[in-house]
Amino acid sequence: MPEEFTETIETKIWCETPEPDNPFAAAKCYCCGYDVYGDLLKNASYIDYLYLLFKQQQPTPEQSALLQGLAIALANPGPRDHSVRAAMSAGVGGSTHASAMIAAIAVGAGNLGGSREVFHALEYWQQCQNSLELWEQMIKQPPELGREDVWLPMEHAPGFDPNGVTCPTPVKETLAHLADVGKGTNLQWLKANRAALEEFAGCPLAFSGVAAAAFYDLEFLPEQAEMLFLLLRLPGAAVHSLEQERLGWRKYPFFANGFKLNP
């Protein structure tokens, strides 16, 4: 390397050795000490590799099962979800496929059912842990934002659906499965105390709340959970966008009669 190149990218995650004939091509890539193409490719599952990337260590069988379950639960929020609708809106107009993913990420990043909600819910877990008393206090007297941020304040208790009626079956099924396979104390506590928490929040538990508890059991930081939640929900956005691209805008709701412009 020429001596004048002193600026480097510092990383604890990734290490490369060069091909003998090309310093710009890697011959070996190590992820947290594991040979990616010589070892992980043959021996690790995709879910375990995801865990390794975020946590820099191999998961236990319980952690692996928990992340696997969470990934399946989140992979497709379905075509009524805001983030998937964003991706389909790209699809029907013939926008680039990348824009469909960007649209899903942008919309799925928000405080309502999105990754920012998961971030905040993780903060609640950090503060309240398994104390029902603390949860009640936090939900009824949420922390106030200090100075203005680009994110708007939460309008409901994070992890709960302000437009919900009762906790939907898929949320309950996911919670039960993840609490079972993950063996984590927080998911089990959430399962046992869901009704009380919903009472405090005045609305039912949402997928974002189950995901937050799962991430807390996996010892993810709020910002790690925010990122992985975004990533795990993309497959559904992709396939629904592709499907609607094929079908075209004529077969997709335009809400022709639903738009009311007041003077």
Residues 6+ apart with CB under 8 A from 37: 28, 29
| Cα 44 from Cα 60, distance rounded (Å) | 12
Residues 73-92 that bind other proteins (CB under 8 A): none
Residue 62 makes contact with other proteins by CB under 8 A:
no
Q: Decide if residue 129 touches other proteins (CB under 8 A).
A: no
- Could you give the dihedral angle defined by the CA atoms of residues 20, 26, 30 and 35, in that order, rounded to the nearest 10 degrees? -70
- Considering only 37-45, 136-144, 167-175, 194-202, which stretch makes contact with other proteins by CB under 8 A? 37-45
Part of the chain binding other proteins (CB under 8 A), chosen from 35-43, 136-144, 178-186, 233-241: 35-43
251 binds other proteins (CB under 8 A): no
Q: How many Å apart are CA 214 and CA 195, to the nearest integer?
A: 18
Q: Is position 21 an interface residue for other proteins (rule: CB under 8 A)?
A: no
Q: Considering the rule CB under 8 A, would residue 40 count as an interface residue with other proteins? A: yes
Could you write out the DSSP letters of every residue in 172-225? HHHHHHHHHHH--HHHHHHHHHHHHHHHHHTS-B-HHHHHHHHHHHTT--HHHH
Q: How far apart are CA 209 and CA 159, in angstroms?
A: 3
| Beta-ladder partners of 15 | 30
- Under the binding rule (CB under 8 A), the answer on residue 223 touching other proteins is no
Residues 211, 197: Cα–Cα separation, whole Å = 16
By CB under 8 A, residue 46 contacts other proteins: no
Which residue has tokens 């993913």? Answer: 101
Q: Decide if residue 133 touches other proteins (CB under 8 A).
A: no
Contact between 23 and other proteins (CB under 8 A)?
yes
Q: What are phi and psi of 105, to 5 degrees?
A: -70, -45
Q: Is 44 in the site for other proteins (CB under 8 A)?
A: yes
Interface with other proteins (CB under 8 A), residue from 21, 133, 149, 155: 149
Is the Cβ of residue 165 or residue 251 nearer to other proteins in the bound state? 165
Do residues 225 and 212 touch, judged by C-beta distance below 8 A? yes
Distance in angstroms (rounded) separating the CA atoms of residues 94 and 78: 20
Query: What's the min distance (Å) between Cβ of 164 and other proteins?
Result: 8
Least distance CB 55 / other proteins (angstroms) = 13
Total of chain residues touching other proteins, rule CB under 8 A: 50
Among the listed residues 9, 20, 94, 133, the single contact to other proteins using CB under 8 A = 9
Q: Is 1 in the site for other proteins (CB under 8 A)?
A: yes
Q: Contact residues for other proteins (CB under 8 A)?
A: 1, 5, 7-18, 23-26, 30, 32-35, 39-40, 43-44, 56, 58, 96, 98-99, 102, 106, 146-150, 162-163, 165, 255, 257-263
